[in-house]
Amino acid sequence: MPPAPSTAPADPPAPAALSAPAERDDPTAATGRPVRWGVVATGSIAGRVVEDLALLDDAVLTAVSSRSATSAAAFAGRFGAVRGYHDHGGTTGWERLVADPDVEVVYVATPHAQHRAVAGAALAAGKHVLCEKPLTMNAREARELRELARDRGLFLMEAVWTRFLPSFGRVLDVVRSGAIGRVRWLQADLGAPVPFDRASRIWDPAAGGGALLDLAVYPLTWALAALGAPDGITARGVLHEDGVDLHNGLTLSYADGAHAHLTTSIEADCPGTVTLSGTDGWLRTGAPLYNPGELVVRSGRAAPRTERFQPVGHGFAHELREVTRCLQAGLTESPRMPLADTVLVLELLDEARRQMGLRYRSDAP
Ligand SMILES: NC(=O)c1ccc[n+]([C@@H]2O[C@H](COP(=O)([O-])OP(=O)(O)OC[C@H]3O[C@@H](n4cnc5c(N)ncnc54)[C@H](OP(=O)(O)O)[C@@H]3O)[C@@H](O)[C@H]2O)c1
């Protein structure tokens, strides 16, 4: 059985009254020396994350890279980066960026299939790395990156931003307090119809397209946080003729009888929420489950109570604070998003793919 993930709560004590939410720190306030960032790719998530990076008092955007000179210049101009690198003369923009001595940490925001190569090159060049989810296409590649980071004493983290949101912390506090008893069952779904577009990474099997790699990280994150590492997984999926999965259903089972039902889809609209059912109450997040604005908690026989959350910026400021704090403290892993959890999630995804008959052309798990 895989080790319990870091976020897995211990057995909760006897049912407890629901406490007030804890005050959480402002993620924009500096926690130490300035940290110099380089950003690889100028796509949709890169822009949103860098908008939040600009909110941090101790973050400096030093460089950006793109395949194209125009995109690199536009992105650098928009965010005030000193340098913009692009593909030129047989060298990629990201190869130039990771060689820049002024870049300390590289944020990798390319499609999944390039994560292993770009993050690996950054680590080999002595840079710390924050890499978009999923860290890699499969668990083998993630273990390779972990080994590289450990060998070089460098920081490496998968950008599962949900873990650092105040709402996520509050759910863990509620579960650990015993306010809903022992969690016996969890349900989570995430999805929306994505129009077919052969040029999109979502529909491209070589880019790890489909619902599973793009979305299932989030429901799995919630399940592992609430219930720990599962003892078994069963997976079913419906595949498109081009090879990506349209939707999938994962069931995690636990030796003590608990279970989790997780669904992700690029074909159907889903509520996008998480429900935890306990022996003494229940908890339901608002949507989207990767950044819920509210939680409804029913503890014991009390009336359900709604709590609201306002993330800072788009919500990425919280994970960016964690990376900054870890680098300032000289840590090589985040205790809140350790690489063991990343590898465990990818092992579960590998096994789900095996059961679903899902193969991406660009990798061999
Ligand atoms: N944390 C989150 O909430 C979140 C949300 C969405 C996506 N993501 C993750 O972020 C990653 C990127 O997603 P996205 O939605 O931003 O995708 P996207 O809009 O397609 O952008 C990806 C960017 O990567 C670069 N790129 C594309 N193909 C490449 C290739 N073959 N080699 C090198 N670079 C390439 C391009 O930038 P240039 O043209 O500048 O080179 C492109 O704009 C995915 O792994 C995804 O899972 C995370």
Q: Which domains does the chain have, with CATH numbers?
A: 35-161 (3.40.50.720), 166-310+340-356 (3.30.360.10)
Q: Looking at 36, 96, 128, 133, which residue is catalytic?
A: 133
3-class SS of residue 51? helix
Q: pLDDT, tens digit, for every residue of 229-247?
A: 999 999 999 999 989 999 9
Supply the pLDDT for residue 3.
45
Is 41's C-beta closer than 6 angstroms to any atom of ligand 1? yes
E-only strand ranges, the chain: 35-40, 59-66, 83-86, 105-108, 128-131, 156-158, 183-191, 232-239, 245-253, 259-265, 274-278, 281-285, 294-299, 305-308
Say whether 133 is catalytic: yes
User: In this predicted structure, what is the pLDDT of residue 5?
Assistant: 55
Return the residue matching tokens 């999109």.
200
pLDDT value at 6 more than 60: no
Q: How confident is the model at residue 363 (pLDDT cuts 50, 70, 90)?
A: low
C-alpha of residue 232 to centroid of ligand 1, in Å: 32
Report whether residue 65 contacts ligand 1, using a CB cutoff of 6 Å.
Answer: no
pLDDT of residue 2: 44
206 lines ligand 1 (CB under 6 A): no
Q: Which residue has the higher pLDDT, 10 or 139?
A: 139
Kindly give the distance from the C-alpha atom of residue 207 to the centroid of ligand 1, in angstroms, as a whole number. Answer: 10
For ligand 1, the distance from its centroid to the CA atom of residue 42, given in whole angstroms, is 7
Q: Is the CB of 133 under 6 A from ligand 1?
A: yes
What's the gap in Å between 132 CA and the centre of ligand 1? 9
Instruction: Please indicate whether residue 161, judged by its CB atom, sits closer than 6 Å to ligand 1.
Output: yes
Atom of ligand 1 nearest to the CA of 71: 40
Mean pLDDT of the chain: 94
- In the predicted structure, residue 23 carries a pLDDT above the cut 80: no
Region 202-206: mean pLDDT is 94
112 lines ligand 1 (CB under 6 A): yes
Q: Is residue 119 within 8 Å of 131, Cβ to Cβ?
A: yes
Indicate which residue's Cα is closest to atom 3 of ligand 1: 45
* pLDDT band at residue 361 under the 50/70/90 scheme: confident
Q: State yes or no: pLDDT of 362 exceeds 70.
A: no
In this predicted structure, what is the pLDDT of residue 48? 98
For residue 15, what pLDDT is reported?
Answer: 56
Banded model confidence at residue 25, pLDDT cuts 50, 70, 90: confident
291 CB less than 6 Å from ligand 1? no
Q: Closest Cα partner for 278 from 302, 297, 250?
A: 297
Q: From the CA of 109, how far away is ligand 1's center (Å)?
A: 5
Average pLDDT over residues 316-334: 98
Residue (of 196, 227, 226) closest to 209 by Cα position: 196
Residue 38 has pLDDT above 60, yes or no: yes
Pocket test for ligand 1, best of 42, 45, 70, 79 (most atoms within 8 A of CB): 45
State percent of the chain over pLDDT 90: 90
Report the percentage of the chain scoring pLDDT > 70.
Answer: 94
| C-alpha distance across the termini of the chain, in Å | 19
18 pLDDT tier (thresholds 50, 70, 90)? confident
Cα 106 to middle of ligand 1, angstroms: 14
**What per-residue confidence (pLDDT) applies to 24?**
73
Q: Which range, of 72-76, 223-227, 340-344, 356-360, averages the lowest pLDDT?
A: 356-360
pLDDT tens readout for residues 66-89? 999 999 999 999 999 989 999 999
Of 3-17, 161-175, 297-311, the poorest mean pLDDT is in 3-17
d(CA 177, CA 299): 11
Closest Cα to atom 34, ligand 1: which residue? Answer: 110
Residue 68, ligand 1, Cβ within 6 A: yes
Cis peptide before 205 (omega within 30 of 0): no
167 contact partners, CB below 8 Å, separation of at least 6 = 285, 291, 292, 293, 294, 295, 309, 311
Q: Across residues 337-363, what is the average pLDDT? A: 93
pTM for the predicted model, two decimal places: 0.95
pLDDT attached to residue 13: 52
State the distance from the centre of ligand 1 to the C-alpha of 271, rounded, in angstroms. 25
Rounded mean pLDDT of 92-119?
98
Q: For the chain, what is the radius of gyration of the CA atoms?
A: 20
pLDDT of 194 above 90: yes
pLDDT above 50 for 216: yes
- Residue-level length of the chain: 365
The response to whether residue 95 sits with its C-beta less than 6 Å from ligand 1 reads no
Per the listing, tokens 């279970």 go with 259
* Whether pLDDT at 46 is above 60: yes
The atom of ligand 1 lying closest to the CA of 93 is: 41
Instruction: Give pLDDT tens digits for 132-183.
Output: 999 999 999 999 999 999 999 999 999 999 999 999 999 999 999 999 999 9
Task: State which H helix or E strand residue 91 sits in.
Answer: none
User: Does the structure show a pLDDT above 70 at 318?
Assistant: yes
pLDDT score recorded for residue 1 = 39
